[in-house]
Amino acid sequence: MRGLFLVLAFLLSLTPAFAVQPGEQLADPALEARARALSKNLRCMVCQNESIDESNAPLAKDLRILVRERIQAGDSDAAVREFLVARYGEFVLLEPRLRSRTLLLWGIPLLVLVIGGTALAISLSRRRQTHPKALSTAEKKRLDVLLRTNKKS
């Protein structure tokens, strides 16, 4: 019986935990779907690596409620995002927008990939150059002659 309980507890721990409480959800399924989609792309300012949809932090709950209030007030998804960006800054977005201020942020992974690929290519090229090549027949004969004369000395 205890083993069954442990297995059940383990399986339940594998399911994703969503922090949205039933009391927060909107009655209209279409509006709730919009709210959930928006919440999945907004960063929890406390946890910072979770969306407000996943976070149990009190601030995340407040943001989820705020998103739902703005949606019920008739705001578009873009208007809700703009409201939150104006209030909390670009950091509230899990995926920052491509702008001149964020160009470096978007370009760094590509730059690292290019630099790493170039370094790897140079390293492999140098490694190939340092490995000795096989001796030709003439070189082997010349080596034998040199070794024989060296033994006589």
Tell me whether residue 97 is in a domain.
no
One domain for residues 61 and 15:
yes
Q: Which of 51, 69, 92 is the last residue of a domain?
A: 92
CA distance 3 to 15: 19
78-111: pLDDT as tens digits: 999 999 999 988 888 888 777 777 777 778 888 9
**pLDDT over 90 percentage in the chain:** 14
The residue type found at 148 is R
One domain for residues 72 and 118:
no
pLDDT at 148: 86
Whole domain around residue 112: which residue ranges? Answer: 103-152
Say which residue, 142 or 152, is predicted with more confidence: 142
Strand partners for 42: 93
One domain for residues 88 and 32:
yes
pLDDT at position 115 over 90: yes
CATH number at residue 73: 1.10.8.640
One domain for residues 30 and 82:
yes
Q: Chain centroid to CA 146: how far?
A: 61
pTM recorded for the entire structure: 0.54
- The token duo for 6 is 């442990």
Q: Which of 92, 122, 141 is the last residue of a domain?
A: 92
Which contiguous run of DSSP H or E holds residue 125? helix 103-130
Tell me whether residue 69 is in a domain.
yes
One domain for residues 6 and 47:
yes
3-state secondary structure of 45: coil
**pLDDT over 70 percentage in the chain:** 80
Which of these ranges, 2-6, 41-45, 107-111, has the smallest mean pLDDT? 2-6
